[in-house]
Amino acid sequence: MHAHVILAAGQGTRMRSRLPKVLHPLLGKPMLAYAVETALALNPAKLVVVVGHGKEKVLEALEGYPVEVAFQKEQLGTAHALLQAEPFLKDFPGPTLVTQGDTPLLSPSTLGGLLERVGEGAGMALLTVELSDPTGYGRILRQGEEVLGSVEEKDATPEVRAIREVNAGAYAFDPFLFRALKEVRNENAAREYYLPDLIAIYRAHGKRVAAVRGAAEEALGVNTREELARVEGILLARLRAEWMRRGVRMILPESVYLEPSVELAPDVTLWPGVVLKGKTRIGEGAEVGPYALLEDTVLEPGARVLGHTVAQGAVIAGGADAGPFARLRPGAVLREGVHVGNFVEVKNSLLHPGVKAGHLAYLGDAEVGEGANIGAGVITANYDGKRKHRTWIGKGAFIGSNAVLVAPVRVGDGAMVGAGSVITQDVPEEALAVARGRQRNLEGYARRKREGE
């Protein structure tokens, strides 16, 4: 049985952002959520998150997670941050894991390794990694197998800076932790209370400090935008590789962006530049064309989305297709065999099987019957300035180009609407509605005008 504390109170000055650092998203999820989920994977008896900078927003991001929250009013350093968790853990009898909210690639098994070392009698265990460029990290001082300390870059001499073994910012402690924390002083370049000073303090109390070596990638801390991008790139590469192993075809995979919440089936094809977000689900054999963006959208098996389409909250059935350049908004449902072409926008509308809307139309708050044909430029005028109204278009109806259907209005099954009509009254089944100025031809008028008669 162990406890876990995540430090997440810092501002993250080096990000140069109004957003607290731990809330910067990685694949659509705040960085802090990765640290929390890794911690939860080990079933801690207690999980305390230390928050401070941007507290309200950070608390929002923690909603729904079984965590307790400690508050660090002033950011006086990592040891001071950890001390704020004391009221929650004072009499906790087991070991405590400590990680940082800005280190999202740590794995549960690595943290488990730290706990084991404390279980085997070490007073404290910390994760170290070897980096080709150790800039910004605490450097590990060793004497053979023994770890003597970790020196922050600001305090390091050039010789110490040359050390490439660094502190990854993940630790396990025995219950001596909170007594040791009180001995930390801030006599250093940053005038901060440094958590790594616990190494020397534990040793001074005759306790063994164990260093566990990990893989460099896991230790990546995010302090700058560049590091954020690097970590996101690693997460993305892992995700893409996993989906390809499960049978997804990606053309130019490095150009595909997708979030962990997305679900894909075997034989899905993703063309270059595809962006898949939120609860998007793509069924077997479906295809997404170049530079399409799908968010919270379902593609049933065999559906096709062509290039540059943007779909949010839409459902596309097998044998239906949308795009190129289609815009599907929440509640757009395209049943089997529907075709929605370029510059067609569909919102909160059900298109029954076989509906065709090939170009330049707006269908909002509409239900379109099986096999109906929607001409270019057709618009459902669903908004009267105050309220939204519905449009019903019957089975097999034919709506001519540039017709405006002023809702609420109903076009019956098999009816036709003449091009350019403004329809304000229901159209009966099988009828033709024409609602536009009648054409007049004035013989010879153009010639007379030209010749200045």
Per CB under 6 A, residues contacting ligand UD1 are 7-10, 22, 50, 52, 72, 75-78, 80-81, 100-103, 137-138, 150, 152, 166-169, 194-196, 221, 223
Q: CB nearest ligand UD1: which residue?
A: 138
Which of the choices ligand UD1, Ca ion, none does residue 201 contact, using the CB cut-off of 5 to 8 A by kind? Answer: none
User: Of the candidates 51, 79, 102, 355, which one interacts with Ca ion according to CB under 5 A?
Assistant: 102
Concatenating the DSSP letter of every residue in 21-42 gives GGGSEETTEEHHHHHHHHHHTT
- Point out which span in 97-105, 210-218, 262-270, 334-342 binds Ca ion (CB under 5 A): 97-105
Q: Is 152 in the site for Ca ion (CB under 5 A)?
A: no
Strands 356-359 and 339-342: parallel
The alpha carbon torsion through 408, 409, 413, 415 (nearest 10 deg) reads: -160
Which is closer to Ca ion, CB of 82 or CB of 397? Answer: 82
Which residues, 6 or more positions from 163, have their beta carbon under 8 angstroms from its beta carbon?
134, 139, 140, 141
Element (H, E) at 263: strand 263-264
Concatenating the DSSP letter of every residue in 143-155 gives ETTEEEEEE-GGG
Which is closer to Ca ion, CB of 102 or CB of 232? Answer: 102
173 in Cβ contact with 198 (< 8 Å): yes
Which of the choices Ca ion, ligand UD1, none does residue 373 contact, using the CB cut-off of 5 to 8 A by kind? Answer: none
Which position among 2, 80, 359, 389 bears the catalytic label?
A: 359
> What is the DSSP secondary structure assignment for residue 386, as one 8-state letter?
S
Neighbours of 64 (CB within 10 A): 8
Element (H, E) at 81: helix 78-83
Which is closer to ligand UD1, CB of 80 or CB of 240? Answer: 80
Distance between CA atoms of 384 and 177, rounded to whole angstroms?
66
Distance between CA atoms of 84 and 124, rounded to whole angstroms?
19
Cis peptide bond prior to 324, omega within 30° of 0: yes
Which of the choices Ca ion, ligand UD1, none does residue 77 contact, using the CB cut-off of 5 to 8 A by kind? Answer: ligand UD1
Q: Is 321 in the site for Ca ion (CB under 5 A)?
A: no
Which of the choices Ca ion, ligand UD1, none does residue 103 contact, using the CB cut-off of 5 to 8 A by kind? Answer: ligand UD1
Least Å from the CB of residue 12 to ligand UD1: 7
Q: Is 138 in the site for Ca ion (CB under 5 A)?
A: no
Query: Is position 359 annotated as part of the catalytic site?
Result: yes
Distance between CA atoms of 128 and 187, rounded to whole angstroms?
24
Distance between CA atoms of 276 and 297, rounded to whole angstroms?
9
Structure tokens at 33: 């959520």
Nearest to 399 by CA among 438, 437, 427: 427
Which is closer to ligand UD1, CB of 152 or CB of 259? Answer: 152
Which of the choices ligand UD1, Ca ion, none does residue 235 contact, using the CB cut-off of 5 to 8 A by kind? Answer: none
Q: Is 221 in the site for Ca ion (CB under 5 A)?
A: yes
Which is closer to Ca ion, CB of 101 or CB of 400? Answer: 101
Least Å from the CB of residue 103 to ligand UD1: 6
Which is closer to ligand UD1, CB of 217 or CB of 336? Answer: 217
Least Å from the CB of residue 119 to ligand UD1: 24
Residues that bind Ca ion (CB under 5 A): 102, 221, 223
Q: Which residues are marked as active site?
A: 359
